[in-house]
Amino acid sequence: MPLDPRPAPASTASRPPARTGGRGLVLWLIRAGGVVALLLALSPQWRSLEEMGQRRTALLNDKSDEMLVGVSWPFRLSGPGMADGLVLARDRINAENLAGGPKLRLDLRDDNDDWRHGHAIALDFAATPEMAAVIGYDDESVAVRAAQIFERARLLHILVNVNNQAVTRHDAKYVIRTVQTTDEIARHLARFPADRPAEKRYAVVWRDDAYGRNLLYQYQIEQESHGGRLVYQWSFPPGTHDFREPANRLTLIEADVILFWGDDAEIVRFLRKRREVGVTTPVVVAADLGNAILAEGGGAIEGVTFLSLYNRADPAPENQDFVARYQARFGRLPDTAAAQGYDALMMLAAAVRETRSLNPLDLSYHLRFHPSWRGANGFYSFDETGDLNDKPLHVVVGRTGSDGVPADPRD
């Protein structure tokens, strides 16, 4: 058999790349561009949070005509109040130049009260160097973890509905809390009902989440410091629909007060079942008497004590102005979330105007170390950790009219 006169092919391991001219170069550049784009898309995950903070500080130290504020909140789950309050404040700030120059822009994100969503939002906000502040959260477990991201990324974090003390107890520089802590709330709730003996026998029915566990712990400390005695407790997972067991058991238990914590739907279901089976023990609910409870609660809210973080009937000019603006724009009265969102943004704009800075640390220190500020929801002043100082809490007692329809006692 004659030998093939052609040379043997070079091994693929050592073969040089074929020369394909301009077309090959273009293809190579396209592929390289795709890799670069992928790297840029993933870079927020790969860059350290500290590097993100350095970029933010460098960018925001320069003059800017815009202030970007991120908001992480369960908008779909919690109703329109927070979004409406923020938008109302933004439009007023921009129209009246209340930030002293920069126009304010909002980036509203729905975290669904879920860490998977909240984590992605927190990383995205941290990786946005032009963002000066974040307002949120509603869920404590999400907020506590997100706060660590924002602290390392040098991003001002304003908590409008998270009470857990852990967020502000570890030398954090970038966090401000505009709502009372859980221990303050527990002390306040332990006073009710006022006509019962100091050494109360108390029962607790509570939603097993981060806030519920912390509230129960703080409430027990407060009750036991005055000789109170726990006679019954029942915890339930979020989304519980059936409260027959605790309601029926409470008919047999001698208690002076029942503390309840849950979301609006759970509150309504428990109060209805409690009334249905004939429980007459006074109930204190560790939640606001919101529009959803008023709409669905019916006669079950009669005589029930609710925690109130906002007094809509406060005659202070700042509150009356807010209520009038809100009602004129949205055709309804504001709730606590609306007031908290509005105040947080207005207070932030005032800090920008007075410091003439968008640097998050300048804003945080200004809020902590300067005189109190008055908003729709009263006075705000902060201690060196960023916690709220001596802001009063309120309670309201549910009532129904002669037609059995609930009426808001704050109106």
Give the range of the structural domain holding residue 374, as residue numbers without chain letter: 55-180+315-380
Q: Establish if 191 belongs to a structural domain.
A: yes
Contacts with 376 (C-beta within 8 Å, 6 or more apart), sequence order: 310, 318, 319, 321, 322, 323, 334, 339, 342, 343
Q: Establish if 61 belongs to a structural domain.
A: yes
Q: Establish if 63 belongs to a structural domain.
A: yes
Look at residue 198 in the predicted model and tell me its pLDDT: 64
Look at residue 23 in the predicted model and tell me its pLDDT: 44
Q: Establish if 16 belongs to a structural domain.
A: no
Does residue 136 share a domain with residue 82? yes
Does residue 215 share a domain with residue 327? no
Does residue 402 share a domain with residue 271? yes
Does residue 173 share a domain with residue 134? yes
Does residue 139 share a domain with residue 111? yes
Does residue 199 share a domain with residue 158? no
Tokens of 366: 């200004």
Q: Which of the 8 DSSP states describes residue 8?
A: P
Helix pair angle (360-369, 49-60), 10° resolution: 80
Q: Establish if 258 belongs to a structural domain.
A: yes
Does residue 124 share a domain with residue 82? yes
Look at residue 409 in the predicted model and tell me its pLDDT: 65
Q: Establish if 18 belongs to a structural domain.
A: no
If DSSP codes are grouped into helix, strand and coil, which group holds residue 314? coil
Look at residue 62 in the predicted model and tell me its pLDDT: 82
Q: Which of 337, 258, 264, 345 is nearest to 305 (CA)?
A: 258
Tokens of 214: 């912390």
Look at residue 25 in the predicted model and tell me its pLDDT: 42
Q: What percent of the chain has pLDDT over 90?
A: 63
Contacts within 8 Å (CB) and 24+ apart, 287-290: 287/261, 287/262, 287/263, 288/335, 288/336, 289/396, 289/398, 289/408, 289/409, 289/410, 290/79, 290/264, 290/335, 290/336
Q: Which of 147, 158, 225 is nearest to 186 (CA)?
A: 225
Does residue 323 share a domain with residue 246? no
Domain count, the chain: 2
Give the DSSP H/E element, type plus range, for residue 336. helix 336-355
Q: Establish if 251 belongs to a structural domain.
A: yes
If DSSP codes are grouped into helix, strand and coil, which group holds residue 382? strand
Does residue 159 share a domain with residue 70? yes
Neighbours of 327 (CB within 10 A): 12
Predicted TM-score (pTM) of the model is: 0.82
Look at residue 230 in the predicted model and tell me its pLDDT: 96
Does residue 59 share a domain with residue 117? yes
Which CATH number characterizes residue 242's domain? Answer: 3.40.50.2300
Does residue 176 share a domain with residue 62? yes
Tokens of 402: 């002669």
The one-letter code for the residue type at 129 is P
Q: Establish if 2 belongs to a structural domain.
A: no
**Residue ranges in the chain modelled with pLDDT below 70:** 1-47, 195-198, 401-411
Look at residue 172 in the predicted model and tell me its pLDDT: 87
Residue-averaged pLDDT of the chain: 86
Asked if 226 contacts 201 with a C-beta cutoff of 8 angstroms, the reply is no
Look at residue 47 in the predicted model and tell me its pLDDT: 59
Does residue 188 share a domain with residue 174? no
Asked if 376 contacts 342 with a C-beta cutoff of 8 angstroms, the reply is yes
